[in-house]
Structure 1
Amino acid sequence: MDPIFFESRDEFRDWLEAHHDTAEELWVGYYKVDAEHSGIGYGESVQEALCFGWIDGQIKGIDGETYTRRFTPRRPDSKWSKANKERVEAMIEAGKMTPTGMELVEAAKESGEWDKAYRLAEDHEIPAELEAALRENETA
């Protein structure tokens, strides 16, 4: 695992254009907020990856200032999160999706996976009755 530290989303997009259909994985390096250097951010990298049919996954720390995240081509039967659906919709609107990325979106729509998109834990709301009951119970 030798991460590549991209300075910008354009540089990452150039890599994806050249390698999205031949590479099996890519470890993207990121600088933490308080690091001396800066580069592409997580949100930008995920948006660009989705345009080419790729998805982020495993995260590994490198040192006190950097970490890396693994990107791979998305499997046609993979699950879609609501956040990634929203990212894709924004990239479609911006005219940035590639044919490869759109093929996976269309496949997900045809299989029903697009409509089954799950919400991340932080997107869920606790029903008011449950929240009130939890607040009343000291051990909860």
Structure 2
Amino acid sequence: MTKMHELPRVEVQSVAELRAWFEEHHTQQESIWLVTYKKNVPDKYVSIQEVLDEVLCFGWIDGRRMKLDDERTMQLLSPRKTQHWSQTYKDHVARLTAEGRMHEAGLKAVELAKATGLWDFMNDVDALIKPADLIEALEQHPPALQNYETFPDSAKRDMLRWLKLAKKPETRAKRIKEVAELAAQNKRASGTS
């Protein structure tokens, strides 16, 4: 397996270059570091949104983004495998489909996600629906429930996603306990432990 720092770097200076790269390489299985210029180099700048659009069009997924130097950033892009789809990404796909921009590879990724349940897997999280076990834990740690309700939707969504992605029941229980105990102190669980 290739280490992150050994992944190939692909530098683009326009959306057209990025789309051309995807046209030729979208079937590859190896992740890449996409190198793009920052806003301070306007003639070569490709926005995060433009990158995301092309990533979705070809059935890939965007990942970590970091500074490369004063003029450039790099972002991890990978072929989509078994990742769930957030409502934000589904909304982007709907727009890109309506605009006729989705590539066959991206449409196949959507079809596969729908067939496997990954398309709808996070619907409850995106709708900010609190699971019963979380409600119970919040109620056991006054004033956790009241505090939780005041958190921004984005923070609640992150915590709910963190709970949903727990692979083992004991991991989920530990995370729920952490969310409730921190909410009682009017603090948000980071979703990273």
TM-score of the two chains, using structure 1 as the length reference: 0.76
Instruction: Name which structure has the greater RCO, CA cutoff 8 Å, separation 6+.
Output: 1
Higher share in helix: 2
SS in 2 for 1:4: strand
Contact 1:57 1:69 (C-alpha < 8 Å) held by counterparts: yes
Please name the residue that 2:110 is paired with.
105
Task: Determine if the alignment matches structure 1 residue 64 to structure 2 residue 70.
Answer: yes
SS in 2 for 1:13: helix
User: Which amino acid in the other structure matches residue 10 of structure 2?
Assistant: I
Q: Residue deviations 1:35-82, cap 9 Å, x none?
A: 24542111111111111111111223212332210111100x211111
User: Which amino acid in the other structure matches residue 112 of structure 1?
Assistant: G
Please name the residue that 1:85 is paired with.
90
Bigger radius of gyration among the two: 2
User: Which amino acid in the other structure matches residue 87 of structure 1?
Assistant: H
Deviating 4+ runs (over 6 angstroms):
none
Unmatched 5+ stretches in structure 1:
none
Unmatched 5+ stretches in structure 2:
1-6, 129-144, 151-184, 187-193
Q: How does 1:1-140 map to 2 (within 5 A)?
A: 1=7, 3-22=9-28, 24-33=30-39, 35-37=40-42, 38-75=44-81, 77-117=82-122, 130=146, 140=186
**Is the alpha carbon distance of 1:5 and 1:109 closer, same or farther for their aligned partners in structure 2, counting shifts above 3 Å?**
same
**Is the alpha carbon distance of 1:64 and 1:116 closer, same or farther for their aligned partners in structure 2, counting shifts above 3 Å?**
same
User: Which amino acid in the other structure matches residue 92 of structure 2?
Assistant: R
Give 1:117 deviation, angstroms.
3.2
Moved more, 10-19 or 105-114: 105-114
How much identity, in percent, do the aligned residues show?
30
